[in-house]
Amino acid sequence: MVIGSVGAGKSSLIRALLKDDREVAKTQSLLFRDWLIDTPGEYCENPLQYRYLIATSFDTKLLVLVQDATRERGYFPPGFAGGFPVPAIGVITKIDLAAANPEKAERLLRQAMPKGDCFAVSSLNGTGIDELRDRIDSLLQIGGTR
């Protein structure tokens, strides 16, 4: 399940992971896409909506926390990943942009998930996407059937 703030690049990431070439539109509700679940950024920005993420996480094997490398702030509260029954990995998006600061993005992500891998990617030019897909694949195998 892929979560992160509004416009962080979750749907674009899913599109790149699935090698889908359809255009990405604003995500309005939970979307089950093949082996991935896309979520609206509002669910992560509004604590009243965390319940939807937590409820859905019981049907998942892995959380993917997305942080936009061009943002000044993080959107997950400290220790956020620890509130879920499944492990988390971090993904830093938009590293192709001049304004990207991946080191800062990783520091922000680490507040939410002290443990677990972090990957820096560009969904636009594909940097890091194959490595991320391989890593998710191996984590899902370890966690059981996909």
Q: Would you count residue 99 as binding ligand GTP (CB under 6 A)?
A: no
| CB 144, min distance to ligand GTP, A | 27
At what angle are helices 10-17 and 129-142 packed, to 10 degrees?
80
* Between 24 and 139, CB nearer to ligand GTP: 24
Give the pairing type, strands 118-120 and 36-38: unpaired
The residue from 19, 21, 23, 26 that contacts ligand GTP (CB under 6 A) is: 26
Query: What binding mask, one character per residue, do residues 4-23 give for ligand GTP by CB under 6 A, x or -?
Result: x-xxxxxxx-----------
Q: Tokens at residue 48, please?
A: 């009243």
CB-closest chain residue to ligand GTP: 41
| CB 121, min distance to ligand GTP, A | 6
The residue from 118, 124, 139, 140 that contacts ligand GTP (CB under 6 A) is: 124
C-alpha distances in angstroms, 92 versus 12, 21, 36, 70?
12, 21, 17, 9
Which residues between 17 and 56 bind Mg ion (CB under 5 A)? 27
- The two counts, helices (H) then strands (E), for the chain are 5, 6
| Distance from C-alpha of 5 to C-alpha of 141, rounded to nearest angstrom | 28
The residue from 1, 76, 122, 129 that contacts ligand GTP (CB under 6 A) is: 122
| Distance from C-alpha of 72 to C-alpha of 20, rounded to nearest angstrom | 30
Binding-site ranges for ligand GTP (CB under 6 A): 4, 6-12, 24, 26-27, 40-41, 93-94, 96-97, 122-124
